[in-house]
C-alpha cells in the first residue's frame, strides 16, 4: 500500500515537469508578431483572413510563453488566404452529389529574427477541408466548417514553426 502512495506523491510532484506539447522554442525567443493576413481568394468571407490572424495570435499567446510585440519582435508571421473553394464530392448513382467539400488554403511566411536559419525560405502553403451534406446550404454550415478547418490550419502552422515538424 505504501508503494502506491509513494507513486502517487511522485506523480503529483512531477506533474508540472514535462509537457506533451513538444514545443521547442529557443530561450532567446521572447516576442512574436502576427501581421494581419490578407485575402486573395475572391469568394472567401471578408472576415476570414482577420479571423485567421486573431486566432493565430490567440494560439501563440495561449500555448507559449511568448509576448505579443508590434515593433522588432523575435518571430513574425504574415500571409494571406489564397483559396476558398466548394467542390462536389461523393456522387451517388445517377450523378447526384451526396457531399460537398469546403477547402481553405493559406500561404504563411515565418521569420525568425533571432536565428535566420529557422525562418522559412518562402511562404508555405497549407490547406484543409471539411465536408457537408448536399442537403445543407453552405451559408448555414459555413461558420462551423471554417472553425474546424482553421483549427487544423492553425495547428499545422504552429507545429511547423515551433515544433520543427
Predicted confidence (pLDDT) per residue in 86-98, tens digit: 998 867 677 677 8
Kindly calculate the radius of gyration of the chain based on its CA atoms and give it in whole angstroms: 21
pTM of the model: 0.81
Condensed to tens digits (0 to 9), the pLDDT of residues 128-157 reads 999 999 888 898 999 999 999 999 999 999
Residue 5 predicted with pLDDT over 90: no
| pLDDT at res. 91 | 72
In the predicted model, what is the mean pLDDT of the chain?
Answer: 87
pLDDT exceeds 50 at position 16 = no
At residue 126, does pLDDT exceed 50? yes
Q: How many CA atoms lie within 13 A of 31 on its CB side?
A: 10
pLDDT in tens, 47-69: 999 999 999 999 999 999 999 99
Q: pLDDT tens digits, residue range 24-33? A: 788 999 999 9
Q: Please, which pLDDT band fits residue 22 given cuts at 50, 70 and 90?
A: low
Q: In whole angstroms, what is the distance from residue 27 CA to residue 92 CA?
A: 55
pLDDT recorded at residue 165: 55
The Cα–Cα gap between 149 and 94 comes to 30
Res 39: pLDDT:
96
Nearest Cα residue to 79 out of 143, 156, 164: 156
Q: CB under 8 Å to 76, separation ≥6 — which residues?
A: 32, 33, 34, 35, 110, 111, 113
Report how far residue 82's alpha carbon sits from residue 16's, in angstroms, rounded to the nearest whole number.
40
* Mean predicted confidence (pLDDT) in 11-18: 43
CB 84 within 8 A of CB 44: yes
Find, among 36, 65, 70, the residue nearest to 53 by Cα: 36
Domains and CATH numbers, the chain: 25-162 (3.30.160.150)
Q: What residues contact residue 81 under an 8 Å CB cut-off, 6+ apart?
A: 37, 38, 39, 40, 41, 44, 48, 49, 52, 104, 105, 106
Amino acid at each position: 500500500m505504501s508503494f502506491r502512495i509513494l507513486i502517487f506523491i511522485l506523480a503529483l510532484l512531477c506533474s508540472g515537469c514535462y509537457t506533451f506539447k513538444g514545443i521547442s522554442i529557443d530561450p532567446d525567443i521572447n516576442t512574436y508578431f502576427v501581421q494581419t493576413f490578407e485575402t486573395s481568394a475572391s469568394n472567401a468571407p471578408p472576415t476570414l483572413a482577420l479571423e485567421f490572424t486573431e486566432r493565430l495570435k490567440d494560439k501563440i499567446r495561449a500555448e507559449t510563453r511568448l509576448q505579443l510585440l508590434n515593433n522588432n519582435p523575435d518571430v513574425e508571421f504574415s500571409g494571406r488566404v489564397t483559396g476558398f473553394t466548394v467542390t462536389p464530392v461523393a456522387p451517388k448513382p445517377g450523378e447526384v452529389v451526396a457531399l460537398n467539400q469546403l477547402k481553405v488554403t493559406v500561404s504563411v511566411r515565418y521569420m525568425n529574427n533571432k536565428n535566420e536559419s529557422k525562418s522559412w525560405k518562402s511562404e508555405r502553403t497549407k490547406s484543409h477541408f471539411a465536408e457537408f451534406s448536399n442537403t445543407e446550404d453552405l451559408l448555414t454550415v459555413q461558420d462551423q466548417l471554417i472553425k474546424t478547418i482553421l483549427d487544423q490550419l492553425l495547428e499545422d502552422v504552429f507545429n511547423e514553426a515551433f515544433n520543427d515538424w
